A and B are shown apart, each in its own frame.
Chain A
């Protein structure tokens, strides 16, 4: 029992960081790994698998022939293999329209959000008593107290007349107070000497911000841009409330419609006998695909953002 567990610990080691590995090996040879360490490896690997299995099930299901899928359910391996769902979905125009909607919401939303958030964050970070403190309070109150669903609904549909506009999805979410404060805590680390030098050279506030502060802040801008982008990509609540024209549905709303009614799947493709269950899974894969593809490159920024937000207290 113990030997197999030790073997698992060994195999979990990566080949990189060779000197460190040598060192740990030597240490291992002297003491056997403690039970808690072994249990931790087992626990982390198990939780990791639990995190990934649903993704795999859905990918496998989306590639399994509809007849088998509805007969014997999900399996770990697509058999018989079938691309029917994907060909049906991509033959219709709906998926392209909703991809376009999601991409528009994500790109335009993130651009507005990063601009607005960086601007107010820098002014708060400047530390001017007459401006920064009141602005910090102003940005903090919405975290404590919200108007809720109904006033927002009246505002968007009656006052601003944004029904069926993608901006109804974008605008309520463009200033996330949490991200404002993440950025403030980063901006506060901007070296004072550089700012003073620029001021002596006669640079105005705008010039300082755009030519000095922003170029120095690329890492934090990447962090908040990614957080906003994921929020907009996954956004469906405001879309559900305010967008009723099917041609303007973002991906998440199309997917939600597939859950509530299998019949909606038929609208997606062109053929009448659509593989509906398979299509639901294929649509899921299509929806999460870009996030999963970008994740390996982006994940360290998310960790950095959380760490900035959590430990600066």
Chain B
């Protein structure tokens, strides 16, 4: 998640700031003493070339009948067979649907929770109190998916297969106690709750920063007109959060075709009974690679995913820019 955030905001910023800073160097070209800059940039450039651009080039494997002995350069070409194999395997529809459905749920829920939490935090008086609560709800962001998985087991499974805390609660009201880890139905919603728990605070930090930037006069005008706190939150603050929400939405849409491997694999693992509702592209690819060692097909899925993701982020950015221009809030 961390790495997603800057994309669009920086995207918007670069054009503007680049214009501002360009004349600093007065349009000069290479000078002998600039070698220092080359040295400074070199480590990151090399690392990105190898570990970001290298794998992009490695996607040619998608068109090969790859085998380890012959390597990337020696394996025979397979045309579009790998893609065909995936799309006719019968799994493609299900895992693509799961990926999209889960991501839409996660995105809507975390954005909604982030805005709501930021609005509520904004009501809290006292800088220290506010910062204290902000820190508390930000904590879950810092634990790994594995730890989240163990937390979830405490609530849904309990030690030794007896019911967890949720079932203890259900039994108090003599409600039926489902065996969660063998019932695929509720899992999209369970995972959504997990995502809100983990990212709600993170999102609220971003939205609260945007709220802080709203000029005080707007609220003074609201007070004069006799608006209640609830009306000000709903009619003044929320509309002014649209640009921030739009940026986060674009980022989310760009990632919508990437399953959340970390969270889903840590929680579901190889529990096949839950695959019907939780198996996403990334977990499928991982298992296919692990169990069948099928490099070609899995690379083909990866390429397909990257291309769709790229197209989506470009469309989303264009739509967002157009929308931003029309409403002139950005």
Contact = CB atoms under 8 A, between A and B. Distances in A.
B88 interface: no
B198 to A, nearest CB: 9
Given A70-B160, A192-B24, A256-B146, A14 B289 contact: no
Nearest to A36: B230
Contacts, number: 372
Interface in B42-58: 42-45, 47-48, 50-58
Interface string A196-208: 0000000011111
Interface stretch (A93-101, A141-149, A266-274): A141-149
Interface string B11-44: 1111001100110110111100111110111111
Contacts of A312: 9-10, 13
A20 B289 CA distance: 60
Contacts of B298: 149-150
Contacts of B229: 34, 36-37
- Tell me whether chain A's interface is mostly helix, strand or loop, or mixed: helix
* B: interface residue count bin: 35 or more
| Chain B CB within 10 A, most for which of A50, A58, A150, A158 | A150
B319 to A, nearest CB: 16
* A: interface residue count bin: 35 or more
Interface of A: 12-14, 16-17, 20-21, 24, 34-37, 39-41, 43-45, 47-48, 50-52, 54-55, 57-58, 61, 69-70, 73-74, 112, 115-117, 119-120, 122-123, 125-133, 135-136, 138-155, 158-159, 171-172, 174-182, 184-185, 188, 192, 204-209, 227, 230-231, 233-237, 252, 255-256, 259-260, 277, 280-281, 284, 287-288, 291-292, 295-296, 299-300, 302-303, 306-307, 309-313
Interface of B: 2-14, 17-18, 21-22, 24-25, 27-30, 33-37, 39-45, 47-48, 50-59, 61, 66, 68, 71-72, 116-117, 119-129, 131-140, 142-147, 149-151, 153-155, 158-160, 162-165, 168, 197, 200-202, 205-206, 209-210, 213, 228-230, 233, 244, 247, 254, 261-262, 266, 269-270, 282, 285-286, 289, 295, 298-299, 302-303, 305-306, 309-310, 313, 330
Given A146-B52, A147-B302, A41 B2 contact: no
